[in-house]
Structure 1
Amino acid sequence: MVDGTRFRRGRLMNDTEQFQRRWRLYQRLSRLPEGESLIELADRFEVSSKTIQRDIATLRAVGLEVVEVTEKFGLKRWRVQPDMTRVPNFLWDEAVAIYLGRKFLEPLAGTIFWEAAQRAFAKLKATFKPEALSIIESLGPLIHQTSIGSSDYSARAQVIDDLMTAIEDHKVTTIEYHSLKTDAPRPISVQPLGMVYHEGSLFLMAIAEEHGQVRHYKIDRLSGVDITENHFTPPEGFDLKQHLSGTLGVYGVDQDQPLRTVRIQFAVAAARYIQEHTWHKSQTLEPQPDGTVICILQLASLVEVESWILGFGPRAEALEPPELRQSVADSLQEALGSYSNP
C-alpha cells in the first residue's frame, strides 16, 4: 500500500491486458445498477484507484456513459447509465446483417466476448416480428461456413476465462495437459503469454518453466488450470504476432533462430490456387514459363510448411532448403509404403 493506493507489484501492463480489464470493468458496472466505489473496483481488479480512474476516463472518452453518483454520507460510486446498457438503434438491414453474421462469431465461444455476443443476438432477435424473423432465418443457409476440424469451446468457458485471468495478471499457472506424445495428462508449470486462434482451434502460448522456451498448448487438450500466486515478468518486448512471424502456424521459434529461404514449386494444376491466396507475409510468387509457380517464403520453423507441402501431394515440390526437401521425400516414401501392399 502506498498512500492508500494498491499497486500491482510495480509491473508495467501491456495494451492487451488493459483492454481486457476495461472490458471486464464495463461488464461489471453494466450489471450493477447500484455501481461500485473506486476502492471496491481497485480491490476487485487488483490495481490502484488511479488505474481505475484512468480506465473509467478511457471508457468515457470512447462515448460510454460511466457516471459518478454521490450517495448518502458522501459515498461516491461509479455506474453505467441505464440507457447505455440497451441495444442501440439499427436500421433494419443493419440489424439483419449483424444477426445473420452471428455464425461467424462462433469461434469466440468460451471467451470473454461470447456471453455478451449471445445476449446481443438475443436482443436483436427479439426486435424482429415473427413474420420477418421467418424470412431472415431463411436467408441464413444461403451463406454457409464450413467447420471441418474446428473445435467447440462452448463447454470450456471456465478454462478459457481462467487462462485469460492468468495472462492478464502474469501469474504462473499449472495446466493438466495431455499431449499427443503422452499416454495420460501431466501437470506442466507455465507462464501464460497469450492465446492464438489457428485453423479452428485455440492455442495457449506460454513459457514452459521446465525448459524456459515459449511453447503452444492446444486448449482441447487441457483438463485443468490452477493459477498460482506466483507472478512472472514476461520477456521484454514480447509480441505474439512477431513471435509467430517466422512460422506458417503456431510453432513458435526462439528469437535467435535465423530465417531460412523456403522455395516450393507448384504444378500447373495448383498454380492458380496458390496465386489466389496470401500464405505468409514474406511470400514471393514467381510464375514460370511452363505454367508452374515457385513460392518463396522466409521461415525459421519448417514443421508446418512441410505438412502444408505434403497436403498438395504430387502438385508441390520442395526445392530448398535441402533438409526440408529430404524430410518431405522421406514422408512421401513412408506414405508410399502404406500402399505397397493391397
Structure 2
Amino acid sequence: MPRNAEVIRQWTILREIERARAAGVTIDGLAGLCGVTTRTIRRDLQALEEAGFPLFDDKSLDDGRTRWSINGQAFKGLAAGLTLSELSALYFSRTLLASLTGTPFKDEVESAFVKLSAALTPHMRQFLDQLPRAIATKPDPARRLPGDDARRQRAIARTLEATLHQRQATLVYHSKSSDRTKTYHVHPYRLAYAQGGLYLLAYVPEYGEVRTFAIERVEDLSLLEEHFTPIEELPDEAFPDSLGVHSGPTSRVDIAFRPEAADYVRGRAWHQSQQLEERGDGGLTLTLDVCLDRALTSWILSFGPGARVIAPDSLVREVASQIEEACAAYRAGGPGRA
C-alpha cells in the first residue's frame, strides 16, 4: 500500500476522533469510514499513539463499547492552545505558502513554522512532515530581483510604514514601458502580492487616480511628514477587475471555446463576473467583465485555436494581430533556423 494512503487514512482517523469529541468513535466506525479492516485501524491507532498523539479509549457509556477520543488541547506552548485539526492544517499549509518564496515575508513564515514545530514532539513532527506528500503545489514564477537587495528591503519596509500610517511619500520609479526613471508624489494605499510579485497601489495626485507600481522597480521611497486621507476605497481583493495585475475600466468580453477546450473552461472559476452559455456542439461562450490588459490577451492565446474572441472588436483585432505576427515569425524562421 502506498505510504501516502496510510498517512491520509491516519489523518482521517485523527480528524474523525476529534470531531466526535467526548462521544468518541468506535473501531468499527473508523473501519467503515476508511474502508479497511478493524485490524488495520488498531495498527493505525497504535502508530498514532506512538507518535505522541494523546489518544485514549473509554468504555464508560451504557453500551459497553470501547470508544476512542483525543485530548484536543494537548499542545502546550501555543498561547491560545490549538486543536489538532487547527495545528495540523496550519502545519500542512507550508506547501501552499511556498508561493511566498522571494517576498519579504518568507523569513517570517519560516520563523513561524520553526516556533510551531517546537510545540510538537519529534514523533508528531515526523508524522505531520508526511502530510504535504498528499498535496503538492506549483507556485507562480517568482520575480527575479537583480540589484541591491538591502535597498529593496528598505523600500518595502518604508512602503509598509507609509500604508499603515497613511504617510505621503516620494517615489522614484523606473518604468518598464518607457524605460525611464521618474519621481512621483504618492499616497500609498496598499501592498498587494500577486503572480509572484509585490505591488504598491498608490494614489497619484498628479494624475488623480490610483496607479500600480511593481516593487522591484522602485528605486527609492522617502516618507514625508504629511499624512493623507484616502480618497478612494479599494476593494478587499487585489486587482479584482483583471485576470492579472492591472487596474482600470472594464469591458464586456465574449469568448467562444471549442468543445476540446470547453470542459477545462467550465470546470474553473476564472472571475467573479463570468457567465457561461452552452452551445449545441459541446462548446461554450464565456462572458467576462474585465480589464482589456496583457493578462487577458495572454490567457486567450494560451488556448490556441480552441478560443476565439467574439467581442469587443478591439480585443478581436489585438488577438488576431498577435496570432498573425507569431505565424509570420514562424514562417520567416523556416525549418531548423533560430
TM-score where L is the length of structure 1: 0.64
Instruction: Give the alignment partner of residue 96 of structure 1, picking from 74, 78, 88.
Output: 88
Q: 1:117–1:243: structure 2 CA closer, same or farther, 3 Å change rule?
A: closer
8 Å CA contact retained: 1:194, 1:240: no
- Is structure 2 residue 116 aligned with structure 1 residue 124? yes
Q: Equivalent residue for 2:167?
A: 171
Q: Equivalent residue for 2:135?
A: 143
**Residue 321 of structure 1: how far off its partner (Å):** 0.9
Instruction: Give the alignment partner of residue 292 of structure 1, picking from 252, 277, 283.
Output: 283
Task: For residues 300-320 of structure 1, give each alpha carbon's deviation from its aligned partner in whole angstroms, at most 9, with x where no partner exists.
Answer: 545432222112221110001
8 Å CA contact retained: 2:99, 2:139: no
One-letter amino acid of the counterpart of residue 251, structure 1: H
Aligned length: 254
Q: Which ranges in structure 1 are unaligned for 5 or more consecutive residues?
A: 1-83
8 Å CA contact retained: 1:166, 1:172: yes
Alignment of 1:1-342 (within 5 A): 86-92=78-84, 94-107=86-99, 117-151=109-143, 157-183=153-179, 185-236=181-232, 238-241=233-236, 244-253=239-248, 257=249, 259-341=250-332, 342=334
3-state secondary structure, aligned to 2:247: coil
One-letter amino acid of the counterpart of residue 301, structure 2: L
8 Å CA contact retained: 2:168, 2:225: yes
8 Å CA contact retained: 1:111, 1:160: no
8 Å CA contact retained: 1:263, 1:318: yes
8 Å CA contact retained: 1:109, 1:152: no
Distance 1:245 1:134 in 2: 40
8 Å CA contact retained: 2:170, 2:224: yes
**Residue 203 of structure 1: how far off its partner (Å):** 1.5
**Residue 233 of structure 1: how far off its partner (Å):** 3.1
**Residue 169 of structure 1: how far off its partner (Å):** 2.3
Q: 1:90–1:235: structure 2 CA closer, same or farther, 3 Å change rule?
A: closer
Q: Equivalent residue for 1:45?
A: none
Q: 1:106–1:229: structure 2 CA closer, same or farther, 3 Å change rule?
A: farther
Q: Name the stretch that deviates more: 155-164 or 259-268.
A: 155-164
One-letter amino acid of the counterpart of residue 245, structure 2: V
Q: Which ranges in structure 2 are unaligned for 5 or more consecutive residues?
A: 1-75
Q: 1:131–1:247: structure 2 CA closer, same or farther, 3 Å change rule?
A: closer
8 Å CA contact retained: 1:265, 1:317: yes
Q: 1:93–1:157: structure 2 CA closer, same or farther, 3 Å change rule?
A: farther
Q: 1:209–1:186: structure 2 CA closer, same or farther, 3 Å change rule?
A: same
**Residue 112 of structure 1: how far off its partner (Å):** 9.0
8 Å CA contact retained: 2:246, 2:293: no
For the aligned residues, what is the CA RMSD?
3.2
Distance 2:231 2:238 in 1: 11
8 Å CA contact retained: 1:252, 1:301: no
Q: 1:157–1:105: structure 2 CA closer, same or farther, 3 Å change rule?
A: farther
8 Å CA contact retained: 1:110, 1:158: no
**Residue 208 of structure 1: how far off its partner (Å):** 2.9
Q: 1:183–1:167: structure 2 CA closer, same or farther, 3 Å change rule?
A: same
One-letter amino acid of the counterpart of residue 317, structure 1: R
8 Å CA contact retained: 1:248, 1:304: yes
